[in-house]
Amino acid sequence: MLDTRISAQTQMEQSAEVRAVLAALQQLPEMERAVLLMRALDEMPYEEIAETLRISAVSARVTVHRARLKLMQTRQAWREAVPAAGGKP
């Protein structure tokens, strides 16, 4: 019984974290969100992202990097806020 309870708690925490990441994605500027999703979900090479968006490959790399940093900062802030909010984000 204890294993099920721990599993349910873990599932709730993971679900809350997924919602937080999705909310953070929505807050990214459109270009950062587009480039990040092209790279992460579509597994597009930087050169293809650059061609699609008519930007340089260097700009595509920099934009992905900046978007990842913003998401990591948001994720860290969420993790710090969870204990302070009694387990609720």
Q: What is the pLDDT of residues 27-37, one digit of tens each?
A: 899 999 999 99
**What is the pLDDT averaged over residues 59-65?**
97
CATH of the domain at 49: 1.10.10.10
pTM, to two decimals:
0.72
Determine the residue type at 51: E
Give whole-number Cα distances, 20 to 25, 51, 56, in Å: 9, 31, 31
pLDDT in tens, 68-77: 999 888 878 7
Task: State CA 59 to chain mean position distance.
Answer: 19
78, 68, 80: which is closest to 25 by C-alpha? Answer: 68
Task: Please tell me the total count of domains within the chain.
Answer: 1
Give domain status of residue 89, yes or no: no
pLDDT at 67 (0 to 100) = 95
**What is the pLDDT averaged over residues 24-45?**
94
**Which structural domain, as residue segments, surrounds residue 38?**
2-84
Given pLDDT bands bounded at 50, 70 and 90, which one contains residue 64? very high
